[in-house]
Structure 1
Amino acid sequence: MASAQHAHSDTGLGDFLRSRRAAVDPIEAGMPDDGRLRRVPGLRREELAMLAHVSVDYIVRLEQGRTTRVSRTVLDALADALKLAPDEREYLFTVADVTQSAPTRRPSQSEPAPRLRRLLDTMTDVPAIVVNHRFDVLAWNRGGAGLLADFSALPPGHRNLIRLTFLDEAFRALYGDWERAAKDCVATLRMEAGRRPDDPALNALVGELSVRDQDFRTWWATHQVRGPSQLVKMYHHPIAGAMELDVQQFSVDTHPDQKLIAFTAEPGSESEKALHFLLHWSDGHVTADRL
């Protein structure tokens, strides 16, 4: 298995800049066709330098990792030139290490907040789980276990949504569009890896998935990033059938490392009927978290 250090070594500023530079269409960026053969896709270094109003040597040093501390003004110029989306811009600022005055991040908490456990118990009509920044599943209600997996039957080290998405065939089969869901997983994990470069468990997860799954390895190398957002996902459940569900994440003020994820359906829809059936089935077939 790849070492944790190697697994995270490609998350730096230089790799991200190169990947985003390659993704920019030179014509859309306003670069004229000078007749020179483009050996690689995207912007050339000198074109990015011109758009960001910095020297080519500076771009070279950034991409080679010889310069990591960058002013906010230059980062904004680079982000504009590369046409970065908001999540990508946030990631750029994170890996460039410009947040000197940011508060110290609290250590990861492996136990769910007691109030979250009680909240899960009351959510009898909504499947829900509690995860940390690595998407380790820390707690769940019966609906959450019925929809996704019987987490109580899994070893604690395997209760991770991203690991299950790539390495568990039954979990993969739940997704109506597995590739889209899996790419979202990679982009979200990449964002967290930029925020927490020294998290050994996260690095170990990236290392394991990089070794064991070709798709993960390929998509990780694209440096796509995405922060939390409301999603609509199609599920093909072996008991309840097809369901289109809203997947919403809620932050926890007292435990900022944790999120509550809830799954709901459009009122009056066939998905809502299927979800209600699933919830009744779950009462007799799976258990809520009581660890």
Structure 2
Amino acid sequence: MSVEYYVRLERGNAKGVSEAVLEGISRALQLDDAERTHLYDLVRTANEGEHPRRRRGATRPQQIRPGLQQLIDAMTDVPVFIQNGRLDILAANKLGYAVFSELYVQPQRPANFGRFVFLDPRADAFYRDWDDAAYATVALLRAEAGRSPHDRILSDLIGELSTRSEPFRTLWASHDVREHRTGIKLITHPIVGDLDLHFEAMDLSAERGLQLIAYSAPPGSHTLDALKLLASWSVTSDAAGQRQAAPTDS
């Protein structure tokens, strides 16, 4: 690869770049899976500019099929929710709503992790490591922006967060990307206190762009006991009443 060719890539001119070149760049920069996928997404977007008819249409509101809601409702012992790439919570089971009840204090629907982390003062107390939560949130949104460059709702969300949150602007400028597959979420729930939640995120093959995220805790742990208490609380409180029968994008 010539120096002139590399300089062209650095300047954002990626039209017509071959897969062999992209693989070479990935190896040279030691990109992880998320970064490699993001690179390919950016090149795909650049090539779409040559073929406007290939661009995706207007963003459509997302709704969850009744069968999916029935499935997660049957998972009564673990918190579960379904989110899209914009980090909107589109559906949850009762325990999922109870665990993330702080996201539903604000009236805007669907509840969105980006807005909560950067615009809601409750987020600082909810996340025991707010800096990590903020970094992960921006990295996930950055990856989605590469996958869905013509998503108007996503662009509006990024514009809103950039305008209203200096920490978001700073992190967005770092251009980091991340996948959301597995890990531990450390939160402090206003009812049951600290929770160390292990999560697994699974792409829904029949629902493009959606992930089912389930949380669990080791047997005998404080978190497991707290989840049982929270499940009982959700039955007798209005937490479950915050469910939206058919969340719509706004």
Q: If the length of structure 2 is used for normalisation, what is the TM-score? A: 0.86
Q: Are the aligned partners of 2:89 and 2:110 in contact in 1 as well (CA < 8 Å)?
A: no
SS in 2 for 1:79: helix
Q: Are the aligned partners of 2:183 and 2:198 in contact in 1 as well (CA < 8 Å)?
A: yes
SS in 2 for 1:73: helix
Say yes or no: does 1:183 pair with 2:135.
Answer: yes
**Residue identity in the other structure for 2:68:** L
SS in 1 for 2:81: strand
Unaligned ranges ≥5, structure 2: 49-53, 246-250
Q: Which of the residues 96, 101, 105 maps onto 2:43? A: 96
Q: What is the alpha-carbon root mean square deviation over aligned residues?
A: 2.3
Distance 1:144 1:117, change over 3 A: same
Q: How does 1:46-57 map to 2 (within 5 A)?
A: 54-57=1-4
Per the alignment, residue 163 of structure 1 pairs with: 115
Say yes or no: does 1:132 pair with 2:79.
Answer: no
Q: If the length of structure 1 is used for normalisation, what is the TM-score? A: 0.74
SS in 2 for 1:244: strand
Distance 1:116 1:67, change over 3 A: closer
- Give how far 1:172 is off: 3.4
- Give how far 1:287 is off: 1.4
Q: Which of the residues 164, 175, 178 maps onto 1:226? A: 178
Distance 1:179 1:151, change over 3 A: closer
Deviates more, 1:108-117 or 1:212-221: 108-117
User: What does the per-residue CA deviation read over 1:202-245, in whole Å, with 9 as the maximum and x for residues that have no partner?
Assistant: 01111111111111111111111112211111111111011111
Report the Cα distance in structure 2 between the residues aligned to 1:128 and 1:84, rounded to whole angstroms.
31
User: What does the per-residue CA deviation read over 1:98-121, in whole Å, with 9 as the maximum and x for residues that have no partner?
Assistant: 999xx9979655111211111232
Distance 1:236 1:60, change over 3 A: same
**Residue identity in the other structure for 1:84:** L
Q: Are the aligned partners of 1:233 and 1:245 in contact in 2 as well (CA < 8 Å)?
A: yes
Say yes or no: does 1:197 pair with 2:129.
Answer: no
Unaligned ranges ≥5, structure 1: 1-53
Say yes or no: does 1:251 pair with 2:203.
Answer: yes
User: What does the per-residue CA deviation read over 1:28-60, in whole Å, with 9 as the maximum and x for residues that have no partner?
Assistant: xxxxxxxxxxxxxxxxxxxxxxxxxx2222122
Q: Which of the residues 12, 23, 28 maps onto 1:76? A: 23
Per the alignment, residue 7 of structure 2 pairs with: 60
Report the Cα distance in structure 2 between the residues aligned to 1:178 and 1:115, rounded to whole angstroms.
35
Per the alignment, residue 49 of structure 1 pairs with: none
- Give how far 1:174 is off: 1.2
SS in 1 for 2:200: strand
Q: Which of the residues 219, 231, 240 maps onto 1:287? A: 240
SS in 1 for 2:174: coil
Distance 1:172 1:248, change over 3 A: farther
Say yes or no: does 1:212 pair with 2:164.
Answer: yes
Distance 1:259 1:67, change over 3 A: closer
Per the alignment, residue 112 of structure 1 pairs with: 64
- Give how far 1:184 is off: 0.9
SS in 2 for 1:96: helix
Distance 1:186 1:268, change over 3 A: same
Q: Are the aligned partners of 1:111 and 1:138 in contact in 2 as well (CA < 8 Å)?
A: yes
User: Which is higher, the Rg of structure 1 or of structure 2?
Assistant: 1
Report the Cα distance in structure 1 between the residues aligned to 2:60 and 2:83, rounded to whole angstroms.
11
Q: Are the aligned partners of 1:109 and 1:255 in contact in 2 as well (CA < 8 Å)?
A: no
Distance 1:239 1:65, change over 3 A: same
